[in-house]
Structure 1
Amino acid sequence: MTFARSETFRYIGHILAADVLPALYRSQKLPLRISCLGVASYDASDAANSFDRVIPLGECPSPEEAIQAAALRVARGDICTGPDSFPYFQPRIMLIQDRDQRLVLAGEIRAGIILWQQPVASDAEARRIVTEASRLRGMAFRTSDPAEARQLRYRAAALEARLVDPFWRETAADLLRLSQAA
């Protein structure tokens, strides 16, 4: 007579390796920092004197809360506020990074919403994106038109938004799948 092994029983070593240790490692990378990359200026009509700026927006204890907080700030237009803010700020890319400045998730801002970018699926895909982004930055360096150079740099940054740190890739992909299902 043979007994069927219970499907609900898991060895303590498996529980530690699959559940406890990843949760502990993840908690060391929190809180997550939210920031926004965009174009700042003191005069809306003076494109020549505008400059790229990263605006820190705050911290959140989880990726889910960071996504919600970022979306709320963009929807309210509450990105560049405060005493040291710029009168004119055009948000371009939203970033969520962990304590070690590793990318958790990023997305382009268009028409008041964040288009979160799907993280790369492999290291080979990451290398292709780095190559293309480097090519775009090289083109930006060579052009004499400042507006075209800025546009090329933002195209490169939008590509690099997919370069989520390997530790966060699965979490980011799961979060994006959940938001698409909702």
Structure 2
Amino acid sequence: MTLIIKNRAVVEDGFVVIRAAEDGALPAVDALPAGQIIVPFALWKDNKDAIAASRSKAELGVWLAPDDEPADIVADFDKLAVIAVDFPVFRDGRGFSIGRLLRERYNWTSELRAIGDVLRDQVLFHSRCGFDAFAVRADKDINDALNAFNEFSELYQGATDNPEPLFRRRRAVLAARGA
């Protein structure tokens, strides 16, 4: 089993991320492995009834590519345990917006996982956008990535994890002191 960061702890992961072949072909539904899987949204769109019928909600996840529309998965929330967002390269930040949309606009409350080119430098920022699980790139130290959560003692901007910006939090502390 592989290791992921989930809820700020390193844990074993039972999910297998299904990817397209090098030629772009998606696997056939009957060729999917048994157990927990996270399938590409393109495969899910075309085969959701067959895939959902083949396993329980706890065994099923879907991953979104940067150009997938998160609104298109909302109707299927009740069938999924995990939604993953693919970061194909470090510099592609569209997944951050997808994460915030899923959490803030569409109210996804289950696991939201970052997959792909997930590096230590962005783990905290993924978290601030609503991600709670991270499949750190295989050639990187997952325990080092876990340290990213403790790098900053204060965060200026409001985000999914804490919508209050720092100036409002400080104002509330001063008001409580009677200052």
TM-score by length of 1: 0.24
More helix by share: 1
Highest Rg: 1 or 2?
1
